[in-house]
Structure 1
């Protein structure tokens, strides 16, 4: 079982996903580390047989998560990436790779329904670029979080929106190139020091990424998916007719006929039969039909679901330099927490402290000079500007306060409304 009883139970706790997805800043404090916290460590092994597996280690106490690859020929599991709140290396998997792997894991282990825990847990280890289509991705990610976490039963999930913003490096200069005799895909990013957002990955030409073993894992996943479409029952005329109807834009309405035809023909893949006859979400039936019809992954999702809300979603990455010299202790955190609350309540984004600058006083004392905030504004930049200005005014911020739009390089002084 890839998710043992304790981990499965932990996934249903109200505080698991907010902590795993870093939805709030739970800074570790030793005084608050009790005995229960010491047990908040879990390992999940997602296997494809013969020693090929992805291994996820979760430590909620420290907020650190590592993704390793285990494979024949490796002396020990090799790191693909990790997540923490200090020096994360999260860009490990491309979307198409994760989707294919999650489908194969589901076929091998009926407990790992797709979209479900694999996608919800491992999506945070992906990296997206201009070639990734939100119409293909968001139905699956939405369905994965609907399956593992209470929330809206329809529409774009907030976890999906956050994931899209965190892992989307479109426009950042990210490129992929096939290198070496085996053509392994290596990531590069032009002008890495100034790129926003930056690429943090082991998948570099001189990196430690286990390219050959990972390619073997993907090959094994593709073989499992292909084998599911070779059952002789799929040649039955009634099955073929029903399957063709299911690949149309209204294909979901023909699922009962497909399920009945598969049963009558004696189709033997229990996971796909369950997915079309009793899906936990329509997206589960959709990928099952894609697999049965040997369609490219995601091609039917665009027909069944149409445009994703992410296709028109916009966000801006801002940095606020907040002067705190001479202010009461905790002033910067107070402003940040209030701004984050207001942005969240308005559905406009979030704010968090990302750093600080210091200066030495005339007496040699080291004093905080600026608190640096990362601010994400969604969809309505003028409304975001207005809310930032109102929050800073409420806390008496000075005219030296500066906001830089990292997306456009514009500089704005919210206290007096001027810009450079």
Structure 2
């Protein structure tokens, strides 16, 4: 396991721990605690990545840079913790795109990040509780940051306050210019096949990746009580151009004789 530990002031620290190539945890350490408390995690089973607003990551990363020369901003902390940011508005993309491009190395990498983080069209919003905590609400959000959860709301408020104190107060940043990445979108198509899907899925994935339009992967199957498979399910992710993605899917299905199979948009 590799852990990046970023102090933000007042004894608070943000930890990003990589257990393996598929598992990453974001945690908070508070003063006097023996361990840390999980804010979010990414794994291959049941991920809960939606933990941060971009402005929060930007704040703690600036504080960490002020305290530790080995953690310049934008740099290691932004790159490591970006997967825990959820995007709910165009203005968040405007603010995040330049520092993320510097931290991740390219606009293409930022675009891939946005495909994962984007919740603009799912009705996901931030709401403030009577205690003053920001929580996530909406369909399709995978988070601990909801009322009644184990998310360390009091500790997180204190960590953000400590970061502001490290920087001498709230950070006033100029309004960023609108980012061309506002136009980025990821669409999910569902396919149901009634023949073994391996060759079709491989062909779909290769065709979409070759055109930089997305990817495809098997997502499950249906069988009878006797264990006979009757249907296979495929998830197709299309980036930006839905109609072009649909055309690629249609062409691959036709080449494999699946003339009546139609993808549905989820």
Length-normalised TM-score, structure 1: 0.59
Q: Secondary structure at the match of 1:187?
A: strand
Query: Which residue is equivalent to 1:55?
Result: 15
Residue correspondences, number: 266
Please say which structure displays the higher CA radius of gyration.
1
Shift of the 295–56 alpha-carbon distance from structure 1 to 2, 3 Å rule, reads closer
**8 A contact 1:95–1:132 mirrored in 2:** no
The structure whose residues are more often strand, as a share, is 2
Q: Secondary structure at the match of 1:98?
A: helix
Deviation of 1:371 after TM superposition, in Å, equals: 2.3
| 1:296 paired to 2:172 | yes
**Greater mean deviation of Cα atoms: 44-53 or 136-145:** 44-53
Q: Secondary structure at the match of 1:112?
A: coil
Match of 1:402 among 258, 262, 265: 262
The structure whose residues are more often helix, as a share, is 1
Cα distance per residue 1:239-275 (max 9 Å; x no partner): xxxxxxxxxxxxxxxxxxxxxxxxxxxxxxxxxxxxx
Distance in 1, matches of 2:211 and 2:88, equals 28
| 1:376 paired to 2:223 | no
- Which ranges in structure 2 are unaligned for 5 or more consecutive residues? none
Match of 2:73 among 82, 89, 114: 114
Q: Secondary structure at the match of 2:197?
A: helix
Match of 1:185 among 110, 134, 154: 134
Deviation of 1:75 after TM superposition, in Å, equals: 5.7
Report the aligned-residue RMSD: 2.0
Length-normalised TM-score, structure 2: 0.91
Shift of the 382–187 alpha-carbon distance from structure 1 to 2, 3 Å rule, reads closer
Cα distance per residue 1:7-53 (max 9 Å; x no partner): xxxxxxxxxxxxxxxxxxxxxxxxxxxxxxxxxx2122111244311
Match of 2:154 among 189, 199, 212: 212
Shift of the 380–352 alpha-carbon distance from structure 1 to 2, 3 Å rule, reads same
Distance in 2, matches of 1:89 and 1:130, equals 20
Cα distance per residue 1:140-181 (max 9 Å; x no partner): 1111111xxxxx5xxx22x21121121111132222222233
Distance in 1, matches of 2:66 and 2:200, equals 49
**8 A contact 1:343–1:350 mirrored in 2:** yes
| 1:104 paired to 2:73 | no
Distance in 2, matches of 1:311 and 1:177, equals 23
Shift of the 390–131 alpha-carbon distance from structure 1 to 2, 3 Å rule, reads closer
Query: Which residue is equivalent to 1:311?
Result: 182
Relative contact order higher in (CA < 8 Å, ≥ 6 apart): 2
